[in-house]
Amino acid sequence: MRIPPPTPRQMYWNRVLLNVFWMVLALYLASQLFISLSMWGRRPEFSGSYFKFHVLIPDSVVTLLLLALEAIQKWRQPWAELSIIAASHIYAALIIANLSPDYHVKPLIMLLPLLVSMIYLKSNYLKASSFVCLLYILMLFISTPAYEYALRIENIIIAFIFAGTSLAAFGVIGRGRDLMQSLENSVKSEQDLRIQNIIMDRLSKIDPLTDLYNHKTFHEYLGWLIDHQQNNPFPMQLAVLDIDNFKKVNDEYGHWVGDIVLRQVAQTLLAHIGTDDFAARYGGEEFVVILTAKPLDESLAMMEHILLGIASLPIAEMDNKTITVSIGMHEYDRADSKSSTFQQADDALYEAKKTGKNKIVIL
């Protein structure tokens, strides 16, 4: 049988229960020591032989049991939970067997496995522990002489305590599962809401046709970069691109082909710009690229690759004809504002259009 590895929470509760077992053992040893010292020399049965067979050996067995659980917790973690459940019955039985028959309340120690099963919130563990307690109660009734009316009444009371504890434990497990399910549903709803917010945020920033950033996001990012320049200057250029004769493409081949052209231009931009750069669809057939952290000649070389890449890209829907773009560039100067930066790049684009298209002009 393959048991899945425990979760961090399961490992945490395994550790808590093992600590409780050690504390119970420590209290049990302390009480035994106190009783032995109190009765030593006063009652003949409290001799060295009694201490050996009723204290040393049973307590050593319990200690070895706990050490075995510690080893399982460390090296066989998938089996730790099941081992703790089984060991809780053995633990309780060893303590009961070692106590004097004069302690009529000692059967209540069998509540330990019931409580351990309840902590794990697993009804199968609780059913098994309840069945063991039932067998133990039957053994008590069978072993109690008929004339021991008081003891039989005590056993009946203990049986009621076991039954009440089991019923309460099943109620706790049911309530715990309801709470866990409610928490899980709440977490799932929160995750769904986060995903929806992320999707909505993306839709508000991304152009759906080209998958580039949109006009609004471009202006926000450009403004942020310029504000950032005041305290931490760095090289920055703005390029404005416009597809040449795009109206003719729409008129001759249809707007659906025009959409294909826009997507291919966007893909070419994304393929050539760096991780520090920013590309957006400004509107219609116009695109913008913000190039950062590189000198002008390097940015110019990048835009030339884009210019040539677009010009050499055949469009299947246009009978393998190609298109061209015109590009205007401006290198940001600290004296520039956001509007003047864009205006100078746009003026450079106008100059490129006016002087022949399919070229780059820098102002």
Residues annotated as catalytic are 285
Strand boundaries in the chain, DSSP class E: 236-243, 278-283, 286-292, 325-331, 360-362
Contact (Cβ atoms closer than 8 angstroms) between residue 89 and residue 129: yes
Nearest of 315, 177, 307, 176 to residue 243 by alpha carbon: 307
Count of other CB atoms within 10 angstroms of residue 276: 12
Bridge partners, 237 (sequence order): 291, 331
Nearest of 360, 351, 357, 342 to residue 299 by alpha carbon: 360
Tokens of 343: 């205006």
- CA distances (Å), origin 255, targets 74, 209, 259, 284, 333: 68, 13, 6, 12, 39
Grouping H, G, I as helix, E, B as strand and the rest as coil, residue 34 is helix
- Tell whether the torsion through CA atoms of 157, 158, 160 and 164 is positive or negative: positive
